[in-house]
Amino acid sequence: MIAILGGGITALSAAHELKKQGKKFILLEANSFLGGKIQSRQMEGYTFELGPNTVVINNRETKELLEDLNLYTSRILPEENAINNRFVLKHGKMEPFPNSLKKAINSKLFQWGTLLSILKEPFVKVSSQKEESLAAFSRRRLSKQILDDFITPFVTGIYAGDPEKMSVNHTMSMIKDAERKHGSIIKGMVKFMKEKKQEREEFDLPKQKIFTFQNGLQELIVAIEKQLNNNIQLNARVKSISFEGNKYGIVYEQDNEEKAIYVDKIISTIPAKNLAELVQSKDVALAKSLFAIHYVSAGVMHLAFDKKDIDIHDSFGLLSRKEEKVPFLGVLFNSSFFPHQSKKDSHLLTIIYGGERGKELLNKSDAELQELMIASLKEVLKIKGKPNFFHRKDWGYAIPQYELGYDEVIEKIENFQNAHPNFYIAGNFYKGISVSDCIANGKAIATNL
């Protein structure tokens, strides 16, 4: 018997694989619902996400999962003319993210200095430093301008963290690998793109990788849940684990009652601090490392305006530079790239805030925060009227950061797994935070059990 701890996407991917293999297992989830950070809502004619907005098919595991669930063909792809248009806020203006020569010429983000830094990059000396922050690495190989205008907005959009603290090895391993293997990011990225193209062709991965579903990403959770009815225990918070010879004793609380089960294997997918609490009596060093993983808090606000009251470009959205001093990290123009998510006569936005830059915003009242966001966007989006829809979700322990010193986390996890080969550790604080990473990691563990 196998126990899966947690019911987020990592757990569900593992559970789906175990079900396919006909293995006996139980999944214990503390909440009354599955999905973890993936939670979609439908309200007042809008469809929106409290957690991830989109999933990217950049590995075969994600594609296979969708195919198994008959969901591959019901993906909703973003509007072509919107998805490749992205903006960065610089000096209060929306500057096009230069992903083509034409946009580069028209964007204030792309300067002669930018071009020069790119041309010089292949000649920058390779560093022998074992560890370096993403910011230090970017300044050394490229320039401060590229860090401020491109890299920081981009990684803040994913991690909501601080590039000065993030480990380049673990946050953007492909650029560090490029330096290590090819002596240059540019040369390495050319190789990397070729490999990705080959992988795309080999596994027939779609060209447009981003998707959602008609009723949001929750459809994925519902489809997996349907197959697993007998295996799932909801409202089941795992409270302790005892290590008893070849078995594990798990105590969990459900309906105010303590229940115990014995299993041969455990797949843990719960967040780092929750796992730390369960293993601290057995492995103090691992628990210490897990408690030390920094999770940033983040908030997600949805606002909708009548179309006449706001000027939204055909675009995916807008990321802010750290220097802009605006209260948001990024804004997604959902009604532009996924029109089905909005009422026809309105524009729906997702505003992401908090993170390492704006922790204090999570303490603000709904009215205060709404006012602050509208004031900061008023000029760039030419907002005239009041929103016709508002929703807010704050995540206290939102996104794990792979910061300097993360090597030690890996070492402690590996030591623990060597000592306890039937206890598997997964979840977004280990081997990638994206939904597609979580799907791949959950599947890999279940396949190799």
Residues that bind ligand FAD (CB under 6 A): 5-11, 28-31, 36-38, 51-55, 237-238, 269-271, 274, 298, 300, 395, 398-399, 427-428, 433-435, 438
Residues 6 or more apart from 170 whose CB is under 8 A from it? 402, 406
**Residue nearer to ligand FAD on the CB measure, 215 or 434:** 434
Q: Which is nearer to ligand FAD, 137 or 316 (CB)?
A: 316
- Nearer to ligand FAD among residue 37 and residue 392 (C-beta): 37
* Structural contact between residues 329 and 353, judged by C-beta atoms closer than 8 angstroms: yes
Least Cβ distance, residue 26 to ligand FAD (angstroms) = 11
**Shortest spacing between CB 269 and ligand FAD, in angstroms:** 5
CB atoms within 10 A of CB 200: 16
Minimum distance, C-beta of residue 124 to ligand FAD, in the bound complex (Å):
31
- The crossing angle, in degrees rounded to 10, of helices 185-202 and 173-182 is 110
In the complex, the smallest distance separating the C-beta of residue 214 from ligand FAD, rounded to whole angstroms, is: 18
Q: Which two tokens stand for residue 336?
A: 């532009």
CB of 177 to ligand FAD, least distance (A): 21
CB of 10 or CB of 114, closer to ligand FAD: 10
- The residue whose Cβ lies closest to ligand FAD is 36
DSSP conformation letters of 229-263 = GGGEESS-EEEEEEEETTEEEEEEEETTEEEEEEE
User: Quick one: which of 130, 142, 201, 199 has its CA closest to 168?
Assistant: 130
DSSP 18-67: HHHHT--EEEE-SSSSSBTT--EEEETTEEEESS-S-EE--SHHHHHHHH
CB of 34 to ligand FAD, least distance (A): 7
Residue from 65, 88, 286 nearest 97 by CA: 88
What is the SS3 assignment for 344?
Answer: coil
Measured from the CB atom, the residue of 167 and 269 that comes closer to ligand FAD is 269
Residue 326 or 426 with smaller CB distance to ligand FAD: 426
Nearer to ligand FAD, 224 or 312 (CB): 224
Tell me how far the alpha carbon of residue 368 is from its chain's centroid: 27
Cβ 437 to ligand FAD shortest distance, Å: 8
